Structure 1
Amino acid sequence: MKFAVLVYPGSNCDIDCYKAVEDTVGEPVDYVWHTATDLSEYDCILVPGGFSYGDYLRCGAIARFASVTQALVKAAEQGKYILGICNGFQVLTEAGLLPGALLRNRSLKFRCHSTLLKVVNNATPFTSDYAEGEVINIPIAHGEGNYYCDEETLRELQQNNQIVFRYETDTNPNGSVDDIAGICSKEGNIVGMMPHPERAVDELLGSVDGKRMFTSILNAWREQHGTAVSR
C-alpha cells in the first residue's frame, strides 16, 4: 500500500503524518507538493493540518484551487482512501468532497489540548479497528474547528451514518453542531476530522489512540486486495 501526504505552502503537520505512517504501518509514503497533477499511484492520501496558503480568505479556500486538490477530487471519484485532518478537513469541505463548513471556534480562541472523542461509526475503512461507542483520546489544535451545516444536511449525515466522531458529552471545544468532530462521505472512502490522530501514535505524545486509524486503513486496503491480516 502506498500513502501520499499532500504539502501546501503553510502545511505544518505534514511531517507528523509522514512519521505516523512510517511508525504505525511501515508502508511506503511520499510527500506530494501542491503543484502535482496526478495522484493515481497512491492508495491513501492524507491532507494534513496547518495553514494552507496562510488561511487567506478563509481556511482551505485557496488550497481548494491548487493543482493537487484537483487531482484529489479525481482520486476521490476513483474510490481512493482520503483522510483530511484539521486544515485538511477544511480543504475537503471547500473542495466539495465533504458537506458543511468549518467556522471560528465559538470562544474565538485557538484551542490546543487533549480531547475525548466517541467513535460513532466504526464501519469506515478508517475506524474498523475501534469499537462502536469507544471513547478515545485525540488532541486538537485549531481556531476554526466549529463544524456547521444546515438542518437538512445534518439529518442526512445522521441518517446515512456519516458522523464518524463526536466530542464526548460536555467536552465540545469549539461549538460544532451535534458535537461533530469528524464525518465521512456517503461512500465512506473520505473522512475529515478536526482532531489529530497522527499526534496520538506514541505514549510519549500522551496517547496511542490514533494508531488504529492507520492500521484500520491498511487492513481495509488489504481486505480489498485479498491480503488481510488478523487484527
Structure 2
Amino acid sequence: MNFAVLVFPGSNCDVDMYKAVVDTIEQPVEYVWHLETDLSKYDGILVPGGFSYGDYLRPGAVASLSPAMEQVKIAAESGKLVLGVCNGFQILTEAGLLPGALRRNQRLKFHCETINLIVENNQTPFTLEYEEGEKIRIPIAHGDGNYYCNEDTLNELEKNKQIVFRYEGKNPNGSVSEIAGIINQRGNVLGLMPHPERAVHKWLGSDDGKRMFSSILSYWRKQNGTA
C-alpha cells in the first residue's frame, strides 16, 4: 500500500506521520510537496499536523487551496483513504471534504497533553482493530481544536455514525458534543485532532494509535484481495 504524506510550508508533524507508517505497518511512504499535481500512484493520503502557511486567515484555509489538495479531492471521490490529523483535520474541513469547522480552543490556550478518547465507531477503515466504546490514550497539541457545526449537521453526524472519536471525561477545547474526530458519509475520509502518529510505541506513553495504521492496511488489503 503506497502512502503519501503531504508537506506544506509550516508542516511539522510530517516526519512523525512518515515514521508511524514505517514503524507500524512497514509500507512504502513518500513525502509529497503541496505543489504536486498527481497523486494517482498513492493508495492512502496522510495530511499531517503543524501550522500550514502560519495559520494565516484561519488554520488550514490557505493550504486547502493548494494543488495537492485538489488531487486529494479527486482521490477521495475515487474512494481512496484520506487521514487528516490536527492541522490536517483543519485543512480537510476548509477544503470541504469534511463538514464543520475548527475554532479557537474555548479557553484560548494551546493544549498539549495525552488524553482519553472513546472509540464511537469501529466500523470504519481507520478503526477496524478497535472495540466500539473502547477507551484509548492519544496525545493532543493544538490551539484551534474546538470542533463546531450547526445543529442540523450534528444530527446528521449522529444519525450516520460519522462521529468516530469523542473526548472522554475532560473536553480540552470545547468541541461540540465532545467530538474529537469525524468521518465523511462515504467513510473514506477521517479527520481528528489527537495525534495517533505520536502514540505508536509504548515508550512514547501509549501505542494506542498503532491500530489506526494497521486498520487502514487491513481494510486496503481486504478491498484489494491481498488479505
**TM-score of Structure 1 vs Structure 2, range by shorter chain:** over 0.9
Within-5 A mapping of 1:135-154: 135-154=135-154
Match of 2:68 in 1: 68
Which structure 1 residue ranges, 5 or more long, are not aligned?
Answer: none
Separation (CA, whole Å) in 2 of partners of 1:81 and 1:37: 18
Q: What is the CA deviation profile of residues 113-142 of structure 1, one whole-angstrom value per residue up to 9, with x for unaligned ones? A: 001000000000000000000000000000
User: How far 1:203 sits from its partner (Å)?
Assistant: 1.3
Q: What is the CA deviation profile of residues 37-85 of structure 1, one whole-angstrom value per residue up to 9, with x for unaligned ones? A: 1111000000000000010011001001101011111111111100000
Q: What is the CA deviation profile of residues 119-175 of structure 1, one whole-angstrom value per residue up to 9, with x for unaligned ones? A: 00000000000000000000000000000000000000000000000000x311000
C-alpha RMSD of the superposition: 0.4
Q: TM-score, with normalisation over the residues of structure 2?
A: 0.99
Match of 1:38 in 2: 38
Match of 1:222 in 2: 221
Match of 1:14 in 2: 14
Aligned-residue sequence identity (percent) comes to 67
Separation (CA, whole Å) in 2 of partners of 1:39 and 1:205: 32
Match of 1:58 in 2: 58
Within-5 A mapping of 1:106-125: 106-125=106-125
Say if 2:217 is the partner of 1:210: no
Within-5 A mapping of 1:181-196: 181-196=180-195
Q: Which amino acid letter does the alignment assign opposite residue 91 of structure 1? A: I
Q: Which amino acid letter does the alignment assign opposite residue 214 of structure 2? A: T
Separation (CA, whole Å) in 2 of partners of 1:81 and 1:97: 12
Match of 1:167 in 2: 167
Match of 1:77 in 2: 77
Q: Any runs of at least 4 consecutive aligned residues in structure 1 with deviations exceeding 3 A, and if so which? A: none
Separation (CA, whole Å) in 2 of partners of 1:72 and 1:8: 14
Separation (CA, whole Å) in 2 of partners of 1:203 and 1:186: 33
User: How far 1:181 sits from its partner (Å)?
Assistant: 0.1
Match of 1:89 in 2: 89
Which structure 2 residue ranges, 5 or more long, are not aligned?
Answer: none
User: How far 1:212 sits from its partner (Å)?
Assistant: 0.1
Q: What is the CA deviation profile of residues 159-204 of structure 1, one whole-angstrom value per residue up to 9, with x for unaligned ones? A: 0000000000x31100000000000000100000000000000112
Separation (CA, whole Å) in 2 of partners of 1:40 and 1:74: 9
Q: TM-score, with normalisation over the residues of structure 1?
A: 0.98
Match of 1:178 in 2: 177
**1:20 aligned counterpart, secondary structure:** helix
